[in-house]
Amino acid sequence: MSNKKTEYVIRIGHLDRYRHLHISEKGKIIYFRIQYETKVGNTWYPVVRYDTAHGYAHRDILNIRGVIKKTPLFNQNYNDALTFAENDLKSNWQYYKKRFLEEENG
């Protein structure tokens, strides 16, 4: 049986988007990367990313200079971690944007 790759991008605000990628095998998530991005000027910037790079589920909070603050997720079941991450980004993207823009100007 082969892996199934799901990938899409949706607009969540005028200058904001949600980028989603996950790979599953037999209904089990084996890899994911989802990211909230905002547009400043003509450039799209990653603001918050959840992924399973480095072999574990974690959240990266970025600033406009690309500095990353990495936080591991307690739940290492990738299906549950992906659900948590999706809900967090879709519910809290405006908070993350405000924080990102305040850091840019601060």
What domain range includes position 52? 4-105
Query: Do 49 and 32 form a contact (C-beta atoms < 8 A)?
Result: no
> pLDDT tens, 11-29?
999 999 999 999 999 999 9
Number of residues written out for the chain: 106
Could you tell me the pTM of the whole model? 0.91
Residue 73 pLDDT greater than 70, yes or no = yes
C-alpha–C-alpha distance, residues 17 and 44, integer Å: 9
| Number of domains making up the chain | 1
Euclidean distance between CA atoms 50 and 70, whole angstroms:
10
